[in-house]
Structure 1
Amino acid sequence: MYDLTGFQRDLLYVAAGLEEPHGLAIKEELENYYESEIHHGRLYPNLDTLVDKGLIEKGTADRRTNVYSVTRRGRRELEDRRDWEEQYVSDLV
């Protein structure tokens, strides 16, 4: 997880949090969070990087729609990241 950009980490978190994450749903969630447009040229290459790293899997819902699911490794990386963050911010809550 340490070698991911902040945007890639956010993609992973959103993919883990959506019931059936597909590209446009992930894009919409991030646009709401960032309060700016996310271009396809940024979104899909970064999703492909997460696939290449084994953190998410890409499948197809139909001929036009890719769906993404977080792998076991991806979930483990998210849990490790949350544990690491917790040691620094637990007093803030």
Structure 2
Amino acid sequence: MYDLTGFQRDLLYGVAGLEAPHGLAIKDELEEYYESEIHHGRLYPNLDTLVDKGLLDKGERDQRTNVYTVTRRGAREISARREWENQYID
């Protein structure tokens, strides 16, 4: 996870917290967190990067809608990050 941008890490956490989310649900979740608009040109290339790194799986709900799930590797990376953070924060 050390090689992810903060935005990519937030995407990974957002996908982990949602039930089989599609791109627009992820976009809505991050827009609420960031309190600003997330453009498609930023969202989807970063989701694709997480898929390429093996942290997310990308599937199809229908011909127009992709769904994303955290892989086992992604879950391990999230867990390792939380352990690292917890050593600094009670």
TM-score of the superposition, structure 1-length normalised?
A: 0.96
Point out where structure 1 has 5 or more consecutive residues left out of the alignment. none
Matched, 1:2 2:2: yes
Whole-angstrom CA distance in 1 between matches of 2:22 and 2:89: 31
Give 4+ residue runs of structure 1 displaced > 2 Å after superposition.
Answer: none
Matched, 1:28 2:37: no
User: How far does residue 82 in structure 1 lie from its aligned partner after superposition?
Assistant: 0.3
Letter in 1 for 2:69: S
Matched, 1:78 2:66: no
TM-score of the superposition, structure 2-length normalised?
A: 0.99
- Per-residue deviation, residues 13-50 of structure 1 (Å, max 9, x unmatched): 00000012110000000000000000000000000000
Give the % identical residues: 79
Whole-angstrom CA distance in 1 between matches of 2:17 and 2:2: 20
User: How far does residue 62 in structure 1 lie from its aligned partner after superposition?
Assistant: 0.3
- Per-residue deviation, residues 70-92 of structure 1 (Å, max 9, x unmatched): 000000000000000000111xx
What is the root-mean-square deviation in Å for CA atoms of aligned residues? 0.4
Point out where structure 2 has 5 or more consecutive residues left out of the alignment. none
* Count of matched residue positions in the alignment of Structure 1 and Structure 2: 90
Whole-angstrom CA distance in 2 between matches of 1:86 and 1:68: 27
Matched, 1:12 2:16: no
> If each structure's helix is expressed as a fraction of its own residues, which one has the higher value?
1
Structure 1 residue aligned with 2:43:
43
Whole-angstrom CA distance in 1 between matches of 2:26 and 2:88: 28
Whole-angstrom CA distance in 1 between matches of 2:60 and 2:10: 22
